[in-house]
Amino acid sequence: MELIKQGAEAKIYLADFEEFFGVDLLPGERVIVKHRIPKRYRIKEIDARLRKERTVREARILHRAREFGVNCPHVYEVDLRDMKIAMEFIDGERLREHLERIPLADRLELCREIGKQVGKLHRAGLVHGDLTTSNMILRDGNVYLIDFGLADFDSTLEARGVDLHLLRRAMESTHYTWADEGFGAVLEGYAEVLGEDARREIEEKLGEIESRGRYREREWAG
C-alpha cells in the first residue's frame, strides 16, 4: 500500500484491490484505505471508542449518501479491529485545479453540478463538514464528493447553512476572481434538487450566518 495522505486523525493509503483483499474480484481496481490511527495522548479505552464511532459513522454516511444519489465512494469493507475503511478510489482530477483551466461558462456548469450533489446530500439528512473544491473530483464528467471524515447526520437548517457557508468561504479563497458567480451557480443547482423554497430558506440562513461572523469580527476588533 502507498501512503498518499496523512491527517491528524487518519492515514490514507492507495492499494490494489487484490493486494488488500487477497482476491482479484475487480481486476485492475484500486482502493482507498482510510486508517484511523491511535492517539497516545488519549486514554486507551476512550481512544478506541472514539475511533470506532467515527469509523462506523463515516461508513454509514457514505452508504446513505449513495442511497440518495450522491456521487461519492462506495464502501467495500469496514474493519473495526484496526479501524479501517476500504472504499472505492475515485480516479479523476481535483476540481480545485480543473476549474481554473476551463472557460467561465464551463466552470459555472460544474458549479451547478456541485450544487446538485450538495442538494442530494442535504436531502439525505447529511452534511459534509468540509465542502471545498479540493474535496471534489471530476470523473467522466461527473462531480464526486470525497473525504467524509467531518460529515454528520444533521438535517437542521443551521447545519446545512454552515455547510454551504464553508463552501462559499472556500471558493472566495481559492477561486476569488469568480467566486460570486460560481456560488450563485451552486445555489441554482441546489434549487434544482430541493426547490426554490429551499433555496430562499438557505439564502436567508447564509445571510444570518454571515451577519453573526461580521458581528464577532467587530467584537474582536473592538
CATH code of residue 184: 1.10.510.10
Mean pLDDT, the chain, integer: 91
- Same domain for 140 and 210? yes
Which one of 68, 88, 108 terminates a domain?
Answer: 88
pLDDT tens digits along 12-50: 999 887 776 666 656 668 899 999 988 888 888 898 999
Share of the chain above pLDDT 70, in %: 91
Phi, psi for residue 35 in degrees, rounded to 5: -115, 110
Give me the catalytic one of 24, 91, 130, 140. Answer: 130
**Cα distance between residue 7 and residue 74, in whole Å:** 21
0.85 exceeded by pTM: yes
3-state secondary structure of 37: coil
**Cα distance between residue 23 and residue 8, in whole Å:** 31
- Same domain for 147 and 84? no
- Same domain for 201 and 116? yes
Position 138 scores a pLDDT of: 97
3-state secondary structure of 42: coil
| Regions in the chain scoring below 50 on pLDDT | 215, 217-221
pLDDT tens digits along 193-217: 999 999 999 999 999 998 876 545 4
Would you tell me how many other CB atoms lie within 10 Å of the CB of residue 212?
Answer: 11
Which one of 88, 118, 153 terminates a domain?
Answer: 88
Position 214 scores a pLDDT of: 57
Q: How many CA atoms lie within 13 A of 130 on its CB side?
A: 10
Q: For residue 163, what are the contacts with CB-CB under 8 A and spacing of at least 6?
A: 118, 122, 127, 128, 129, 131
Segments forming the whole domain that contains residue 26: 2-88
- Same domain for 15 and 105? no
- Same domain for 66 and 172? no
Position 42 scores a pLDDT of: 82
Q: Which of 193, 15, 42 is nearest to 119 (CA)?
A: 193
- Give catalytic status of residue 130 as yes or no: yes
Which one of 88, 121, 143 terminates a domain?
Answer: 88
Position 220 scores a pLDDT of: 47
Domain count, the chain: 2
